[in-house]
Amino acid sequence: MWALVVGEVFLGDRLLPLLVLALGGAMVVGNGAALFRPPPRAKAGELTRAPIARTVTMIGIGLVAAVWALASLVSR
């Protein structure tokens, strides 16, 4: 009885794909913002722009994670 209630409260078997979708989406949006709208002034010891290769790689990883999670949610 309690296992059913706890499973429904915490979204059951959909929790992990939803978390991966949120993380992947945040990686895409955050790195995209860093790439296309860098801060107007860099603080001391910080880079003026985000490194392009690392940023594009992180966008790709986030996009793959988000698409994979979305496909997992849709296929159920």
- Using one digit for the tens of pLDDT, what is the confidence trace for 14-68? 889 999 999 999 999 999 999 998 888 878 888 888 899 999 999 999 999 999 9
Tracing tokens 């790689």 back to the chain, one arrives at 57
Distance of CA 65 to the CA centre of its chain: 7
What pLDDT is recorded for position 10? 67
Q: So where are the chain's domains?
A: 17-37+49-76
Q: Which of 33, 34, 14 is nearest to 22 (CA)?
A: 14
